[in-house]
Structure 1
C-alpha cells in the first residue's frame, strides 16, 4: 500500500479576508437605523450590513463615507410602503481605503449568500435611477420596488414649512425642483421654459406627495403626464400607459391603474 507524500495547496487570500470581515461584523450589535445613529459615525470608507427584523438582508460598501451612504438607504426606506424604519438595524466596519480594491462587500456577499441571506443584494434595492429605458418595463414580483412601492402619502412637511406665509404661489419650475430634492425617491421630469411662467398655489404644510403631484398636474399643459411607477415618479409631455404604473396624473384628473 503506497502512501501519498505530495499534494497541492491553494491559498485563497480573498476567502480569508471574507471570513475575517464576516467574523468582525458578527461581533457587533446591530443598531437601529436612525439619523442619530447614522450621524454618530465617522466619515470614513467601510462596509456595512442592513438587517430587517433581525434578518441580514443587504451588504454594501462606502468608498468615502459610511454615514453618507447609509443615510441614502435610510431615506429610501422612509419613502416606501410595507416596511418601517423601526424594522431596520445596521452594523458597519471602517476599512482602509486601499481595501476597496478587493471589493470587500463582494467578499461578504459571497460569504452570506450561500446561507440564504442578503436577498436585497439581488432584488434591486441598491439601484439608483434605472433610466428612461426601464420606464416601460414591467417590474418583477420579487423586485424590491414591487414588494415595497413608493409611499405617495409621504408628507412634504420639511419642504413646505421652509416657505413663509407670504409665499402663496411659486413658479411651477421652482416647485418641481424642490419636490425633486425633498422626495425620498426619484422624481425624474423633463424641464420646460414655460414652467417659469406658470404660477402654482402651494399645497398645505402637511401635504403628501400625492397631494402635491395633484396640484402640479392641474397646472400642466395638455398632453403632459405625471406617472407614479413602483419605484419612482416621472413626468413627460406625452400621455402614455406604462406596464407597471400605479397612478397617472394629468390636468384632466388622476387615474389609479394598479393596486398591489
Structure 2
C-alpha cells in the first residue's frame, strides 16, 4: 500500500509539474525592449549647434553615431542627461571638435526625452547592457565619458584602447580672435582665457608659491590666429625658466617642474631665453583595460 501510494504520488507530481510554472515579471527587460523599439524609429542627425538648439531643454537619453567608410553609421555611445539634453550633448560636441583623427561632421546623434520617474530605472544602462552584449557602443568602455583624472594620474601609462589615445587632443587646432582676443594679458588671465577657449582640458598650477609668476609676467596675444600648441608655447615663453607644459593624450598640463611623463606626446620648456617644443616618450599600455568611471551627466 505504501509503495502504491508512493508511486501514485510520484506520478501525480510529475503530471502536475508539466501543467505549472513560475512567472517572474521583468520590468527592466520590457522597458529595454520599448526603448529599443522607439529608438529604432528615429533618424540620427549631425551633432551641430543648430540641431542641439532645436531640442527641448528636458532630461533624456541619447545615442552617438560615427559615420563608417561605407556610409553606414556605427552606434558608439549611449548616455543620459539628468537635466537638459542640449547642454549635455553640446559638451560632447565641443570635446569632439578638439580631437585629432575624427571629423565632427561624421558624428550624429538621436535622443529620447525621458520622464523623471523613469530616470531612477537607469534606462541608459539597460541599453548599454543590450548593446555591449551585441559588441557595439565601444565609447562606453574606452573612457570617452571620463572627466579629468587629476594630478595623481598624470604619470599613469595611458591605455592604448583609451579614447584619448585613439583621438588625442588636436594641438594644431586654430583659435581666432573671437575665442581669444588679441592684447596684453597677465599669465594668470591668459591661462584662464586659454582654458576657456580650448575644447580640451588645460590644467595648471594654482596654489603653490611658484604660481606667483602668473601675476608678475605678461604675454602679448597677436592679431593673427594661433594654434593650440602655439598658445601653449606663448605661455612658456613668457614665464621664467623652470616651468613645463606637457601634452598628454587627452589634455595639457602646466607646472613648475622638469618631468618626463611616460605618455607625454610633447613637452614645452624654456631654454636659452625662449620656449622649445620637445618630443615626449609617447608610450601606451598595449594590454591594459580602460577603467571606466561613472559619467557625470550634469
Normalising TM by the smaller chain, what interval?
Answer: over 0.9
> How far did residue 50 of structure 1 move?
0.1
Q: Does 1:255 align with 2:278?
A: yes
Q: Does 1:188 align with 2:218?
A: no
Helix, strand or coil at the partner of 1:21: helix
Rounded Cα–Cα distance in structure 2 between residues aligned with 1:99 and 1:227: 43
2:83 to 59, 64, 78: 64
Rounded Cα–Cα distance in structure 2 between residues aligned with 1:194 and 1:147: 35
Q: Does 1:171 align with 2:186?
A: yes
Q: Report the equivalent of 2:256.
A: 237
1:52 to 66, 83, 108: 66
Q: Report the equivalent of 2:127.
A: 108
Pair 47,30 (structure 1): closer, same or farther in 2 beyond 3 Å: same
Q: Report the equivalent of 2:52.
A: 38
- Between structure 1 and structure 2, the one with the greater Rg is 2
Rounded Cα–Cα distance in structure 1 between residues aligned with 2:281 and 2:110: 36
Helix, strand or coil at the partner of 1:77: helix
Q: Is the 8 A contact 1:247 1:255 kept in 2?
A: yes
Rounded Cα–Cα distance in structure 2 between residues aligned with 1:23 and 1:109: 15
TM-score relative to the length of structure 1? 0.94
Q: Does 1:17 align with 2:28?
A: no
Helix, strand or coil at the partner of 1:41: coil
Q: Is the 8 A contact 1:22 1:111 kept in 2?
A: no
Q: Report the equivalent of 2:231.
A: 212
CA deviations over 1:108-158 (Å, ceiling 9, x no partner): 101211111100000000111111121001111111111111000111113
> How far did residue 201 of structure 1 move?
1.3
Helix, strand or coil at the partner of 1:241: coil
Q: Is the 8 A contact 1:203 1:215 kept in 2?
A: no
Q: Does 1:155 align with 2:179?
A: no
Q: Is the 8 A contact 1:75 1:184 kept in 2?
A: yes
Rounded Cα–Cα distance in structure 2 between residues aligned with 1:121 and 1:204: 41
User: Alignment length, in residue pairs?
Assistant: 255
Q: Report the equivalent of 1:81.
A: 100
Structure 1 residue ranges, 4+ long, deviating more than 6 angstroms after superposition = none
Q: Is the 8 A contact 1:219 1:251 kept in 2?
A: no
In structure 2, list runs of 5 or more residues that go unmatched.
Answer: 1-10, 68-72, 284-298
Q: Report the equivalent of 1:90.
A: 109
In structure 1, list runs of 5 or more residues that go unmatched.
Answer: none
Rounded Cα–Cα distance in structure 2 between residues aligned with 1:103 and 1:34: 26
Helix, strand or coil at the partner of 1:43: coil
Q: Is the 8 A contact 2:99 2:168 kept in 1?
A: yes
Helix, strand or coil at the partner of 2:179: helix
The higher relative CO (CA closer than 8 Å, separation ≥ 6) is in 2
TM-score relative to the length of structure 2? 0.82
